[in-house]
Amino acid sequence: MGMCLPCLGGAADDVVVTPDPDARRRQLAEAAEKRQKETTYRGVKNPEAVERKKKKQEEMEKQEMTGSVSGGGGLRWQVG
């Protein structure tokens, strides 16, 4: 009758301790960021180069926006 339960002497070793809610939330957020980064760069051989190119493009767009507001468009007509 008592054959369905193993010896209870080692049962305390099998208990899995769950982390507190803050630690669990942090772990889930880190895992989500990792998954997002992996899916973003899927199939890309050099993700650092892609990131640099993206930043450079954003900087150029930002300069164009600030230049068009203060500089009057940024186009120069040359007669030659």
Q: Which residue has the higher pLDDT, 71 or 50?
A: 50
**41 contacts 50 by C-beta, under 8 angstroms:** yes
The label of the residue with tokens 């186009």 reads: 75
pTM over 0.75: no
Q: Domain coordinates of the chain in residue numbers?
A: 21-63
On the 0-12 / 13-18 / 19+ scale of CB atoms within 10 A, 14 is exposed
H, E, C per residue of the chain: CHHHCCCHHHHHHHCCCCCCHHHHHHHHHHHHHHHHHHHHCCCCCCHHHHHHHHHHHHHHHHHHHHHHHHHCCCCCCCCC
pLDDT in tens, 43-69: 888 888 988 999 999 999 998 888 765
Kindly report the average pLDDT of the chain as a whole number. Answer: 80
